[in-house]
Chain A
Amino acid sequence: MKYLSEYRDPRAVRALSRAIAERTTRSWRVMEVCGGQTHTIVKHALDQLLPAQIELIHGPGCPVCVTPIEMIDKAVAAASRPGVVVCSFGDMLRVPGSRGDLLGARAAGGDVRMVYSPLDALALARRHPSRQVVFFAVGFETTAPANGMAVWQAARQGIENFSLLVSHVTVPAALAFLLSQPDHRIDAILAAGHVCTVMGLEEYYPLAARYERPIIATGFEALDILQGVLMAVEQLESGRREVENQYRRAVRPEGNPQARALVREVFEPTDRYWRGIGLIPGSGLRLRPAYARFDAEARLAFPGDSPREDETCLSGLVLQGKIKPPQCPAFGNPCTPERPLGAPMVSAEGACAAYFRYAHIPSNRTVFAGADE
């Protein structure tokens, strides 16, 4: 497949794996920020291709995982109201709130639909003017432009039965928070390539300088990630601490100016609570006052109780890269993808689910002859 298979070429992967091993002289811990990168690493077992001194630690970039429990409760509450249709991306449907998940709300008779784009939800609102269509707007700077576009179009077209339940978060504020923790274990960061496609690189220069850590904008294929690790290792080994762009085929230094302008038009920064991590100042987006009438929270007036997280779930430490999923006492028992206690066990991008599905198998077992052809 053009633009994909060349970034999965086994020979190139093995060559990069060797290059990393040759370049590494001491222990380094590299954090990949994005859940999509975690998924690639665990699915292809890329960490088995790295020297023992390189530890990959998984960052907080799983949008499903960091969405606060009370926002999920609000989405579930909205879905159980008559005349309300809740639209969401697929893997958000199974994330548990304190009173069940959206799939459960649908089984109980709520109108919950999976969409691939917020514009599909807007089209649904246009077709059903008598219903309130709520789109659950989660995610990082990658999903913000399309969600902003849906609201912008709704305003232009006068579609007043459409609203967003906004739980947007932004990466740089979260990285600053993690790097400012005294006990953080991060030597270098692989920044999320898709976020950089939208936002560019400029936000990362002050972070790299202040916290003296290499930050590499990195893609999502096996080759991208290994190349990102190699670039990080080369910086660390040679004493450099800079921003570099591995994902040049998609990321321009200035990002996507149109998308950024749209996000600025519709959203403004706000403090945001991250599930498992806590309140991070300036780390979220909310609708600007000019678009406040499309805010589902204001429109549907949810009762304001604060639900509690399950205390045996240590997903907050997982999301900060402080522990690996199997180190959580709840991992595998009782917490499983069928009965998740925390969100990282739900999404394919969640570190716990990735470990549960693709848990590592040591030793090179023999396989049948001819397998290397």
Chain B
Amino acid sequence: MIEPPPMTGPIAGEPPAAGQGLSCPVPRANYERISLGHGGGGRLTLDLIRRLFRPAFDNPALAEETDGARLNLDGAGIALSTDAYVVRPIFFPGGDIGRLAIHGTVNDLAACGARPRAVAAAFILEEGLPAEHLKRVVASMRSAASEAAAGLEIVCGDTKVIEHRSGGENASSAEPEPSGLMIVTTGLGERLLAPGPSPRRICPGDAILLTGPVGDHGAAVMAVREGIAFETPIVSDSRPLWSLVEALGREVDVHALRDPTRGGLATALNELASTSSTRFVIEESRIEVRPPVAALCEVLGLDPLYVACEGQMIVFVAADDAESALAALRRSGAPEAVRIGSVETAPRPEVILRTAYGALRPLDLLSGEQLPRIC
């Protein structure tokens, strides 16, 4: 097994607590019930992971704080990742829950520098789900897997059916949504990048690169949910990223990778700053947001930097490697790749945004989910 350095540092952006370093190892649950905010990817999610799951399951692979675990089995470097997909609606512009389930898991493996080899899939079906929907989703998973990496197979699975549940109806849509389908995918990958990306390898002086515009996936789903249409439709960016990572790994030593899914770019950067105990300085003007995505966020009062991507990667490389890394990314399917910032030393982890006007402010974690403003 890999021996990662010990976990240090507070959650990025969190004021240092009194008596830090003497934290209680017993999981603390300060909330009586789980709320939707605990699934939002922000501070509440991190709190749940760091105070409940991690102390309970404590082990070195978990402490690496990556979306997939990097393991050594009898000398073979593998990566293991699992994800649950509960997106509604299950079909959306640019994809469906099945494609998303494959892409999400494949991309978590790619972020470990691993070529995806096998996927296991569990299906949780709500009674009343049209069989045709399931058929479409399964076919879509099949084609997504063969596109993601040569030889990738879906090798085992499980099926459960649950009672039809009330709720989930969207108050702002005229009709109740069709019955649900949830998918859990687990991926096994073979680690090919050496020494391989890990948040622990992020160091001051690194360049921070981003493969393309942010917020497309989250915005595409929200536009369907809220029934908001634009002249240019918003299409999810859901896509597999292994071939991109493979091409990148041939050119440079990749220090770290993260696909900014739930919680978006800002959340992923905060997690990485926290794990690596460094400061990131990010240039707002370098981050691209497509006009319809920006428009949707304006209408709903959301910040696109916190909206999910499903086909982008944040890349950390030594500053000297930045140009060749960008060239490799642009050649290999990410023509819009840009450098968005740099890593610095800092007394405590933080992410700083230099605004388009040249002012500086922290780019913080959200508490829970983004909630639309009143006016």
* Chain A residues within CB distance 8 Å of chain B: 1, 4, 8, 10, 13-14, 17, 34, 36, 39, 42-46, 48-49, 63-64, 87, 89-94, 103-104, 106-108, 113-117, 120-121, 123-124, 138-140, 142-143, 194, 222, 332-333, 336-339, 347-349, 356-361, 364-365, 367-368, 371
| CA of A194 to CA of B37, assembled, Å | 30
List the A side residues contacting B341 at CB < 8 Å.
367-368
- Whether A116 contacts B172 by the Cβ 8 Å rule is yes
A89-B374, A337-B43, A371-B354 are known; give 17 further A-B pairs, CB within 8 A: A36-B375, A46-B357, A46-B359, A103-B368, A104-B35, A107-B36, A108-B33, A114-B372, A115-B171, A116-B172, A123-B171, A333-B15, A336-B15, A348-B371, A358-B361, A361-B360, A371-B286
User: Hey, which chain B residues are within 8 Å of A365, CB to CB?
Assistant: 281, 344, 352, 360
Question: Could you write out 29 A-B pairs with CB less than 8 Å apart?
Answer: A10-B357, A13-B357, A17-B357, A44-B359, A64-B374, A90-B372, A93-B371, A103-B37, A120-B171, A120-B172, A139-B374, A194-B375, A337-B367, A338-B44, A339-B30, A347-B373, A347-B374, A348-B371, A349-B374, A357-B362, A357-B364, A358-B361, A358-B362, A361-B360, A367-B283, A367-B341, A368-B339, A368-B341, A371-B285
User: Which residues of B lie under 8 Å from residue A106 when comparing CB positions?
Assistant: 35-36
Cα–Cα, bound, A121→B172 (Å):
8
Q: Return A134 CB to nearest CB of chain B, in Å.
A: 12
Asked whether A359 lies within 8 Å of B362 as measured between CB atoms, the reply is yes
Select one of B342, B344, B361 contacting A361, CB under 8 A: B361
Say yes or no: is B251 at the interface (Cβ < 8 Å to chain A).
Answer: no
B364 contacts across to A, CB distance below 8 A = 356-358
**How far, in Å, is A287 (CB) from chain B's closest CB?**
20
Shortest A43–chain B CB gap in Å is 7
B298 interface hit (Cβ, 8 Å): yes
Interface residue ranges, B against A (CB under 8 Å) = 15, 17-18, 30, 33-37, 43-44, 47, 171-172, 174, 207, 226, 281, 283, 285-286, 291, 294-295, 298, 300-301, 319, 339, 341-342, 344, 352, 354-362, 364, 366-368, 371-375
Chain A residue nearest to B283 in the complex (CB): A371
CA distance A333 to B15 in the complex (A): 8
Contacts of B285 in A (CB 8 A): 10, 371
Instruction: Pick the residue among B35, B357, B374 that contacts A91 (CB under 8 A).
Output: B374
Quick one: closest B residue to A140, CB to CB? B375
Q: A359-B362, A368-B339 are in contact. Are A121 and B374 (CB under 8 A)?
A: no
- What's the Cα separation between A143 and B358 when bound, in Å? 34
* A1 B298 Cβ-Cβ under 8 A: yes
Q: Which of B172, B174, B285 has the most CB of A within 10 A?
A: B172
Complex alpha-carbon distance, A367 and B360, angstroms: 11
Q: Which residues of B contact A13 (CB under 8 A)?
A: 357
Selected contact of B368 from candidates A46, A94, A117, CB within 8 Å: A94
- Cα distance, A94 to B372, chains bound together (Å): 11
Q: How far is the CA of A44 from the CA of B97 in the complex (A)?
A: 36
- Closest Cβ of chain A: how far from B196's Cβ, in Å? 25
B172, B207, B372, B375: which contacts A368 (Cβ < 8 A)? Answer: B207
Query: Is the CB–CB distance between A116 and B372 below 8 Å?
Result: yes
CB nearest neighbor in B for A332: B15
Specify the chain A residue showing the minimal Cβ separation from B170: A113
Residue of B nearest to A368 (CB): B342
* A10 touching B375, Cβ below 8 Å: no
CB of A348 within 8 A of CB of B301, answer yes
Q: Report the nearest B residue to A3, measured CB to CB.
A: B298
**Chain B residues with CB under 8 A of A42:** 361
